[in-house]
Amino acid sequence: MGDIPLSTACQQRKIQMLFNIPPIRYEKISPYVQYPQFNQKDFDMRRKVEILKYEGNKTNTKTNKFKKTERWAQLVSGKTQKSSFASIFTTNIDNATGNYTVTETKATIPACTTDDLIPTPTSSCGVPGPITYLVYNPDVPLYNYATQTNPYAFADSNDYDKWKYYTTNDIKCQSGVETKIFTLYIKPNIDQYSYTYSFSIPIGLYVNGTNISNAILNRPLQFNDISLNINSIELTAYYSNQKVTLQKTASIIPSRDISMNYNISFIPTSIYNSYTAILYSGMLQVSNVYLFTEPGYIYDIYMKFNLGLNLSNNTTYSSSILTTSYGVICNLSSNNKKTEVNTIINSIQPSDYSAFNFNGL
């Protein structure tokens, strides 16, 4: 392509920005919003109780070794000393037979699973300051305790696409007018200097008649066996509004003969009355689109459809309906496959509808 003008580079850069996907934004949820039934005092109390458990694997400043004063407190409290309890032997004598049985009962300490729920004064926990009660409430979530620093400013990117494309639904292509179908953006992950692309797109024929003549108002307007046909299809690629010379001839194959047959039948009461007919006409298969794929290239793909409207009585029609527009709707949406306004469509609607598909080799 030679030296690229500055205006072209700026235009390409501007279009590239439209394809940027913003990184995931970290949205921190406040615990006061997530748990409105608790207040700051509840969260602080829950955190204090957790800290005073002195769990070495969770507390950053705590080691697994106790200090001298802690070992002394542990010794005098007797919490770590094993306690021995005498077994109780009970002898039961059967007076009838003279036999007896001896039952041994061992003393045990019951498991007190609710001990943590007993309010404990801070004076019993070695906490200085005014005496308050520490209350463990397992329903309060542990917040802001031993948090890990997360580098949210550096988000991992999992974008491995070689290209991206942008298109919209229901693109009206008037007969004989070149219309942009989609935009292709070559990503930095591209691994070849060129690719041969192909795509399939659902299309439909449309016709719209407006501007009714005053001479036929309030009288039946009837035209039968009108046919709308696609005569030819052209594809063009543009780079920064400059036409690209394709190295290969693109192949455009309709899935079937594309035409629509319909009748017009209504009584116009105003010159602003109109008729409309839209029919899904099949999938258009386009292949052998050869493009150079330097990173950052952006292509606009245009198509031009040349159609013919065939009427049995063209003179009467032209004097009755003064304005008629027709063409092709590319990337026809699934909820717009058939529309009849003051018309009756005689053609059969195909059933092979699928969404726009794009790939490259």
DSSP secondary structure of 208-266: EEEEE-GGGTTS-EEEEEEEEEEEEEEEEEEETTEEE--SSPPEEEESS--EEEEEEEE
More confident residue, 220 or 254: 220
pLDDT tens digits along 173-185: 999 999 999 999 9
Interatomic CA distance for residues 46 and 135, integer angstroms? 8
How many Å apart are CA 281 and CA 254, to the nearest integer? Answer: 9
Query: CB of 347 within 8 A of CB of 187?
Result: no
- Report the range out of 36-50, 60-74, 268-282 with the highest average pLDDT: 268-282
Q: Determine the pLDDT at residue 63.
A: 52
Using alpha carbons, list the distances in angstroms from residue 187 to 6, 94, 158, 281. Answer: 21, 95, 13, 33
**Which whole-number Å values give the CA distances from 134 to 40, 48, 90, 145, in the listed order?**
15, 8, 44, 17
HSE toward the beta carbon, residue 356, CA cutoff 13 A: 16
Q: For 73-77, 153-157, 272-276, 277-281, which range has the lowest pLDDT when averaged over its residues?
A: 153-157
Give the span between the Cα atoms of 70 and 30, in whole angstroms: 37
pLDDT of amino acid 19: 76
Q: Which of 264, 238, 227 is nearest to 180 (CA)?
A: 238
Question: What does the alpha-carbon distance between residue 297 and residue 277 come to, in Å, rounded to a whole number?
Answer: 39
11 Cβ contact list (under 8 Å, min separation 6)? 240, 241
By CB atoms closer than 10 A (0-12, 13-18, 19+), residue 12 is middle
What's the confidence (pLDDT) of residue 292? 95
Residue 262 near residue 276, CB atoms below 8 Å: no
Rounded Cα distance between 310 and 223, Å, is 11
**Structure-block tokens of residue 198:** 């192909």
Rounded CA-CA distance 272/269 in Å is 8
- Higher-confidence residue of 3 and 347: namely 347
CB 316 within 8 A of CB 224: no
pLDDT in tens, 197-215: 999 999 999 999 999 999 9
In this prediction, residues 247-271 reach a mean pLDDT of: 90
Whole-model pTM: value is 0.64
* 273: its two tokens: 């009355």
More reliable by pLDDT, 54 or 300:
300
The torsion angles phi and psi of 319, rounded to 5 degrees, stand at -85, -15
pLDDT at 332: 96
Higher local confidence (pLDDT), 319 or 63: 319
Q: What share of the chain is helix, strand, coil (3-state, %, to 5)?
A: 15, 40, 45
> 226 near 324, Cβ under 8 Å?
no
74-130 per-position pLDDT tens digit: 777 766 666 666 677 788 888 888 788 878 777 676 666 666 677 888 887 777 788
Segment 60-82 mean pLDDT: 65
Q: Tell me what the mean pLDDT of segment 290-303 comes to.
A: 94
Supply the Cα-derived Rg of the chain in whole angstroms.
41
